[in-house]
A and B are shown apart, each in its own frame.
Chain A
Amino acid sequence: MTKRIDIKNLSVDMCERLLRDLERAKRPVLEATKCTLDNSLYNPKVGYLTPGDKKVQTELNVSSVQKMSRAIFILEILLRNLDVGATNTKREIYYIAKGEIKHNAALKPLDFADQNESDEIIDFICEMLECYREDVNCFANDRGGQTYSQQLVVHETMPDGTKAIIDLSRLGTAPFQPKNRPQDLKLRAKKKIDFCVIVESEGTANTLVNSGFTKRHSCILLGAQGVPSNAVRGWTKLIQDQLDVPCYFFGDLDAYTMQNIFRTLKAGSAGSLIRNSDFSAPEVRFLGVLPEDIKKYDLPDYAVKENDASESRALKKARDALNNDPFFKDKRNKGVADILKWLIVHKRRCEQQAYFSVNPRDPLMPEKIILDKIKNKNFV
């Protein structure tokens, strides 16, 4: 289990440093890890992107004094939340801050014109403390990760100490929805689980479940709902680590999916360098759509629209990724990099739903193909 960050101590340390410097009329400098691709390292043995040595420094000066004052003000609110175990969304924090300012005239200069301003401060605090905002009890809406299984049982300990046991086979048609910070959950398999499939499209995951996929196979099926949220990333990591189950990602064949969805799920992202250890599942394999599947199953594919801004941007990013992204540059990930190269050269794309065209009258055809691919190790 991951070690929880002691936000309170970190905050006191940071403020103590700040105060001490001020007492000596020395300019305080706050340091944070630079979370960008140029400061990302990839070691295949570790399996996810880790931070390099580069740091971002924020110095106290007349231009930053407003931002720092706001940060200390919001930090106090967050620490209070942690003390009493309260959680809030960013929008709620915005209104809490507005309320504080309304009742204390001295704080008037800190007032936020809109939520973007307070959001920026929350992100700034997280950068300084090198934590996720879930660590400061600020949660976003849970998105993605709806999980179905007949074998999986989840043990949850509530903040008040009470315990809950969720047997996914007893949820009927309802899925289990992991929280954005799922690391405290404990997983157990009632019977050996053979594999876990993470489906990019939430709709396709539902279709597979409705057709009895999870009943016929001892597996876990979850919908990623596009770019994986912290919940999906942490949850997949948990399944991989606690159940030792092979995980497969089933998604579209296009540059965006390879870079933004699969890479993030497998090795984390540059933006979350400091927390990738908890939010990446290095063992996940790319099940498809693979370039050879187009020919093998005669799948309908499309040319990339170069006049479409987002598609051409994804291709450009793919070229950059091949040159600069340590994940794609590593020879262990040659298979994934080759797919990216194929996409750049052929400028074609194929959607995961294309498997439904193989035998349009057989609703189980996609399921058969998925199983066939797993069985024949037809993945990357």
Chain B
Amino acid sequence: MAKALQEITSASSAEYFSKNLQQVGFSSYTKALLTTIKEAVDNALDACEEAGILPEVSVVVERLGEAAAKGADKIRVKVEDNGPGLSVDDVVKVFGEYLASSKFGRGRCTRGQQGIGISAVTTWAQLTNARGVVVITKTAKMRQAVQCLVEVDIKHNKGVLKDKKTVEWDRPNGLSCEFVIDARIQLQGEGGVLVYLNGTSLVNPHLTLRYKILDQEWVEMTRVSEELPLIPPATEPHPHTMKLGEFMAHSHLFGRVKVGAWLKKGFSRISDGVLNELAPHGVKKNILEKSVDAATEDDFKNVFSALQKVKLMAPSTKSVLAIGEESLAKSIQRVGAVDFFSVVSRKPTICDFKPVLVETAVARLSDRGEKGEEETVSLLRFANRVPLQFDKAACAMTKAVQSVNWRTYGLNQPKESLPNGPYIIAISVVSPFIKFKNASKETVDASDELVEEIRRAMIQAGQRLSKHIRREEKEADLEMKRRHIEQFGPILVDGCCRIVKAGKGRREKALEGLAKLLGREAHLAEKELKEAVEHSEKALAELQEKTGILPSSEDTEVGATRRVTRRIMEPEQLSLTGMEQPKKAAKKKKR
């Protein structure tokens, strides 16, 4: 141990992330492509929404050839938006510097938060293809657009600007970024690009998305809502959600004010009444009168621990953003033709002391696919309107869906699993403080409170859906009953007659009696169906009233029900094969 201690050096955040890109979504070539598109699209949408512009985003994914690395392709990804654009200085910061963000710790429901994602994409492009990102930007104030190459100075966590030049661009403002990366293209499934793009359009009804993947034609998904989501302003932090260090650091943001005033101004749910309640917990009045600069560490500790003991109102839920049932209902139609659907937008609530809003849409697809009822439902998860595509099993949303007894609502469900059937279950969790399990934001932490909140939303959606499913079951039940009466009645009576050697007269009388008997049951089934139809139509009417939308599929089950309803006959009219119309009944009618 004679060796001298090695020198301790410090590394930049860029250096850290460049060596740990798997933590931010680059753990495989498939994920790398998805993360690249996702980060660019998220930034585009956030920028448009901040600037009050209805977003129009285009995505191009092109294969340039084989990559130098084994098992990967050289892919060009280009994402363009009609957002406000960025100044060149900001372009360098956003694309070339880690943790440079306008949203860090602001407590708003934006997609991006820390300012890591897009810089990581630039790093990935730089590491795999030795070239950063080519950006074209134009703000409303610029006469001409500026094109430049931005790279990350990994040693110093600084953006490096190269090849800057002005270019002609046929739009008033916007931003385009182009990466050449090593990646692998997957269209469907867990890491599918199309799954991501469809999911994004589902929870962003105000987005017009155009995309061209490989050699396929351009696809345009036009917006279904002309309203921009209003991103609520951040609310002040709640004292119960803070730790002592954060609490003390927070005090320096408000200048030279008294502690009491700082508490009221800097936190939510603290009023004069609350300050008065601190006294019994050992906070003397003179501490509250002190300036925050003069307060000692002990004073802060004292106030902090007293605040933890005082009962406060739960944090405000005003800061969460809702997609809304109407927009969700419109959006779900973009996924494909659906027989019926239900949407639920819960009221904002507090889970783990964080405001959260859960919204869900459950739809049955008209296209049942090859396996139909046997296939597991498609579960689409969204956190702050960003699709989550990996590590499904550990996610709060998956756990919540599994915890619901879907059999009650007419769906097949293996034990403790997702239900089966041609359904899409989309769940959106919106919160200024989503607890992700990892930096690449793939899984939402399954805390008991959050799982319960999502579960409640799923139960509501299931209840609404079951009205339609029940209606189908009743239709099938009635059909079965009618078929049974017609098919088996005569066989039963004929068999009995042969065994007891009964004549034609007894046979006809028995058939008549059987028709009456079973007809009554059919009548009952018909009544139940009518009730189910009423429930279902009421649910549809409610849905239309709330959202203005009905399922788009032309040949819906609703239509099928009506056909059956028209065919229902009075019990007296029921006749069995091989049997004449009951004469007795006709006579009675005459009388």
Instruction: Report which A residues bind B (CB closer than 8 A).
Output: 11-12, 15-16, 18-19, 21-27, 60-63, 65-66, 68-69, 72-73, 75-76, 79, 106-107, 109-110
Contact = CB atoms under 8 A, between A and B. Distances in A.
B496 A62 contact: no
Interface of B: 480-481, 484-485, 487-493, 495-500, 502, 506, 509-514, 516-518, 521-522, 525
Contacts of B522: 62
**Max chain A Cβ within 10 angstroms of own Cβ: one of B481, B506, B513, B522:** B513
Contacts of A109: 487-488, 491
Contacts of A22: 493, 496, 509-511, 513-514, 517
Given A19-B496, A23-B506, A66 B513 contact: no
Contact of B497 (A19, A60, A68, A69): A19
A78 to B, nearest CB: 11
Contact of B492 (A24, A26, A27, A68): A68
Contacts of A75: 495, 499
B254 to A, nearest CB: 65
A337 to B, nearest CB: 38
Smallest CB-CB A-B distances: 5 pairs: A72-B495, A25-B513, A22-B510, A109-B487, A69-B488
B500 A19 contact: yes
Contacts of A73: 491, 495
B499 A72 contact: yes
B506 A19 contact: yes
B564 to A, nearest CB: 16
Given A25-B516, A25-B517, A26-B513, A65 B500 contact: no
Contact of B484 (A26, A65, A72, A76): A65
A65 B510 contact: no
Given A18-B496, A19-B500, A66-B484, A24 B491 contact: no
A76 B495 contact: yes
A110 B496 CA distance: 15
Contact of A76 (B489, B498, B502, B512): B498
A24 B513 contact: yes
A110 B494 CA distance: 13
B51 to A, nearest CB: 64
A1 to B, nearest CB: 29
Contacts of B495: 15, 69, 72-73, 75-76
A23 B509 contact: yes
A72 B496 contact: yes
Given A23-B509, A23-B510, A65-B485, A76 B499 contact: yes
B521 A62 contact: yes
A19 B518 contact: no
Nearest to B486: A109
Given A22-B510, A69-B492, A76-B499, 4 more contacts: A16-B500, A23-B513, A62-B521, A79-B499
Nearest to B521: A62
A25 B582 CA distance: 13
Contact of A65 (B489, B496, B498, B511): B489
B491 A110 contact: yes
A12 B499 contact: yes
22 contacts: A12-B499, A12-B500, A15-B495, A19-B493, A19-B496, A19-B502, A22-B509, A23-B510, A25-B514, A25-B517, A27-B517, A60-B517, A65-B489, A66-B484, A66-B488, A69-B495, A72-B491, A72-B492, A72-B496, A76-B499, A106-B491, A109-B487
Contacts of A23: 506, 509-510, 513
**Max chain A Cβ within 10 angstroms of own Cβ: one of B487, B489, B522:** B487
Given A65-B489, A65-B518, A15 B496 contact: yes
Nearest to B522: A62
Contacts of B493: 19, 22
Contacts of B502: 19
A63 B480 CA distance: 9
Contacts of B509: 22-23
A107 B491 contact: yes
Nearest to A108: B487
Nearest to B501: A12
B498 to A, nearest CB: 7
A107 B492 CA distance: 10
Contacts of A24: 513
A15 B510 contact: no
A69 B491 contact: yes
A210 to B, nearest CB: 52
**Max chain B Cβ within 10 angstroms of own Cβ: one of A16, A23, A60, A62:** A62
A185 to B, nearest CB: 32
A155 B489 CA distance: 48
**Max chain A Cβ within 10 angstroms of own Cβ: one of B481, B487, B493, B495:** B495
A15 B513 CA distance: 15
B506 to A, nearest CB: 6
Contacts of A107: 491
B507 to A, nearest CB: 9
Contacts of B487: 66, 109
A65 B513 contact: no
**Max chain B Cβ within 10 angstroms of own Cβ: one of A19, A60, A72, A109:** A19
**Max chain B Cβ within 10 angstroms of own Cβ: one of A11, A12, A15, A60:** A15
A73 B493 CA distance: 10
Contacts of B511: 22
Contacts of A19: 493, 496-497, 500, 502, 506, 510
Contacts of A72: 491-492, 495-496, 499
Contact of B499 (A11, A63, A68): A11
A11 to B, nearest CB: 6
B462 to A, nearest CB: 27
A18 B490 CA distance: 14
Nearest to B483: A109
Contacts of A12: 499-500
A29 to B, nearest CB: 12
A122 B165 CA distance: 90
B543 to A, nearest CB: 33
Contacts of A110: 488, 491
Contacts of A79: 499
Contacts of B489: 65
Nearest to B485: A62
A138 to B, nearest CB: 17
A62 B518 contact: yes
Contacts of B517: 22, 25-27, 60
**Max chain A Cβ within 10 angstroms of own Cβ: one of B498, B514, B517, B521:** B517
A24 B506 CA distance: 11
A343 B273 CA distance: 71
B521 A61 contact: yes
A65 B487 CA distance: 9
A69 B509 CA distance: 17
A117 to B, nearest CB: 14
Contacts of A16: 500
Contacts of B491: 69, 72-73, 106-107, 109-110
**Max chain B Cβ within 10 angstroms of own Cβ: one of A72, A76, A109:** A72
Contacts of A66: 484, 487-488
A65 B517 CA distance: 11
Nearest to B509: A23
